[in-house]
Amino acid sequence: MLKRLHIQNYAIIDELEIAFNAKLNIITGETGAGKSILMGALSLILGDRADPSVLLNKEKKCVVEGVFATEGRKVIKQFIKEHDLDAEDELVIRREIAANGKSRAFVNDTPVNLEQLRQLSNVLVDLHRQFDTLELGESVFQRDVLDAMAGNAELLQQYRAIFQQWQHTRHELAELQQQKDQFTKEFDYNKFLFDELQEAGFRENELEESEATLKLLSNSEGIKNTLNKVSFELSEGDQPMVQQLKQLCNQLNAFADIHADIPSLLQRLQSAQIELQDIADEIETLNDRVNFDPQQLEQLNERISIGYKLLKKHGVKTTADLIQIRDNLDNKLQAVLNIDDAIAGKERAALKLQEDATALASKLSAQRQKQVKPLQDTVNKLLGQVGMPNARLQADIQPYAQLQEHGADNIEFLFDANKSNRFEPIRKVASGGELSRLMLCIKSLVAQSLDLATLIFDEIDTGISGEAAKQVGIIMKDLAKKRQVISITHQPQIAGKADAHYFVYKEIRGEQIKTNIRELSKEERITAIAQMLSGEKPTAAALENAREMVMN
């Protein structure tokens, strides 16, 4: 519950603090005194966007702070734990708007963003403003009413998780099918390219090696002639070089024992002779291996021609590039075959999730259907209590053609104000006053199912008076037995039910008009309610009537 609200430098509020009662809190005051300004300030700590124009003093910051008693509520403890906030017996929410327009929010002095603030406020307070009755005609609100009464929160959470998985899987399936379509379009062309490369059957470095071999074969005749000539000069000529060196070695050998330097020279000359002999032998062997082969030459030219065409076609330069392209094409062709398996697997997963979602949606629908009669009976009874005895509410549930994020139900609240048995959607037929009373009846019913510690009504009693207003006050009083209710009202019948009555007024400070608020004593309450009944100078009858309202 909201224990205290402190407001500083907001609109025409200089500074004020309100300590609220745990039960029914009523706020009254003349039109324009600033009652709705209080709600505007409160909405800041509930996550509404900040407007720098609300600063009374443009050189100071605006501060709105609310102190909430959490009363050990699990949902609050869970929120504090999830967002790593300081856990205390009280929850202090503060909103600051700086002079430059920048806004900051704090929970127990820890900075939070607006989304976190909204999430927290949703489990702390239900704030109903005068024009929020328009929500009553919206299908989202109507569905939320039935879900709240049915206690569908956990089931709805399970359903949404499955539904989102299903949608995600369907998206993945659609992407796989698009890939398959693309693969199928490219399959024939890729198959042609692959078969062409596969038929060529190039091994690693084949083109590079073939070019080298082709060059050798093309010059084989010249190479063989040269090898023959060199071999002849070394070993077979009139004066073979090897033989000449051998003779020179024999000549030097005769003086090897006489001159000390000759043995080393002789050894070097003998080495040269041996080396030349080895060269001559190798040339002869090489000469035997070099042969001109026209058939091989033709085969090489054919392979290289095929290779050059493929290199040019694919815009690459090496055999390795062609082999890589062939392998990539093979992978693409295999992917076409494998994607059918992937699609089949994804289809099975999507079907299973759809079945699970459908089963949960059926449970949701059944739970909602169970609440239709209790909703209609209770609300229609309350409508009679608030001065609309001829009004009737019906909840119509029709299935959607396909599952939605919230289930399979299209929910529409229908309304008949005059027992005409012509039920129409609320948004089309209900007047402002009817909407206000209808909203109060529904919220009083839903509040029994929701874990909300505080309900706030900002002039929900618009368009009613007399006995209807009295009955609205009774409903609010009954609501306040189990939770805190804060209501701004112009109706004396409602004000008379207050456990704490606050009066909003304007006062002149210096040359400025400021809004202030104070809690009224019992006698002050009687006077204020009498003034609401008969004017600024209440009659004795009005005072007596007001006293009766307060005492009862």
User: What pTM was estimated for this model as a whole?
Assistant: 0.64
CA dist 464 and 429 (Å) reads 17
CA dist 67 and 205 (Å) reads 80
**214 Cβ contact partners less than 8 Å away, ≥ 6 residues apart:** 297, 300, 301, 304
Q: 176-204 burial, b if ≥16 CB within 10 A, otherwise e?
A: beeebeebeeebeebeebbebbeebebee
Same domain, 182 and 327: yes
Neighbours of 477 (CB within 10 A): 17
Output the pLDDT for position 129: 47
Same domain, 55 and 121: yes
Residue 164 in any domain: the answer is no
Longest pairwise C-alpha distance within the chain: 164
Same domain, 221 and 117: no
Q: Which domain holds residue 89?
A: 1-129+459-520
Strand boundaries in 261-417, DSSP class E: 392-404, 407-416
DSSP state string for 153-172: HHHHHHHHHHHHHHHHHHHH
At 506 the three-state DSSP class reads strand
For residue 232, the 8-state DSSP code is: I
For residue 325, what are its two tokens?
């392209």
Same domain, 122 and 18: yes
Residue 528 in any domain: the answer is no
What is the number of domains present in the chain?
2
For residue 204, what are its two tokens?
């690693």
Secondary structure of the chain: what % helix, strand, coil (to 5)? 60, 20, 25
Burial class, 466, CB count within 10 angstroms (exposed 0-12 / middle 13-18 / buried 19+):
exposed
CA dist 488 and 130 (Å) reads 10
For residue 90, what are its two tokens?
């009280």
Residue 538 in any domain: the answer is no
Output the pLDDT for position 172: 94
CA dist 327 and 531 (Å) reads 93
Whether residue 307 contacts residue 214, with contact meaning beta carbons closer than 8 Å, is answered with no
Residue 113 in any domain: the answer is yes
Same domain, 316 and 227: yes
Residue 50 in any domain: the answer is yes
| Inter-helix orientation angle 206-218/220-231, to 10° | 60
Same domain, 109 and 12: yes
**144 Cβ contact partners less than 8 Å away, ≥ 6 residues apart:** none
The distance from CA 366 to its chain's CA centroid, rounded to whole angstroms, is 30
Residue 217 in any domain: the answer is yes
Output the pLDDT for position 135: 57
The order of strands in the sheet holding 407-416 is 392-404, 407-416, 424-425
Same domain, 18 and 88: yes
CA dist 308 and 13 (Å) reads 88
Listed residue (354, 356, 368, 355) closest to 399, CA to CA: 368
CATH of the domain at 31: 3.40.50.300
Listed residue (373, 413, 416, 421) closest to 396, CA to CA: 413
Residues of the chain with pLDDT under 50: 129-133
DSSP state string for 49-95: PP-GGGBSSTTS-EEEEEEEE-TT-HHHHHHHHHTTPPP-SEEEEEE
CA dist 380 and 475 (Å) reads 14
Residue 550 in any domain: the answer is no
For tokens 């929120």, the residue is: 79
Q: How many helices (H) and strands (E) does the chain have?
A: 17, 15
Same domain, 123 and 206: no
**Single-letter residue type at 205:** N
Same domain, 12 and 116: yes
Same domain, 191 and 121: no
**447 Cβ contact partners less than 8 Å away, ≥ 6 residues apart:** 126, 455, 479, 483
CA dist 236 and 232 (Å) reads 5
Residue 376 in any domain: the answer is no
Whether residue 432 contacts residue 441, with contact meaning beta carbons closer than 8 Å, is answered with no
Could you say which of 305, 338, 371 is where a domain stops?
338
**380 Cβ contact partners less than 8 Å away, ≥ 6 residues apart:** 391, 392, 393
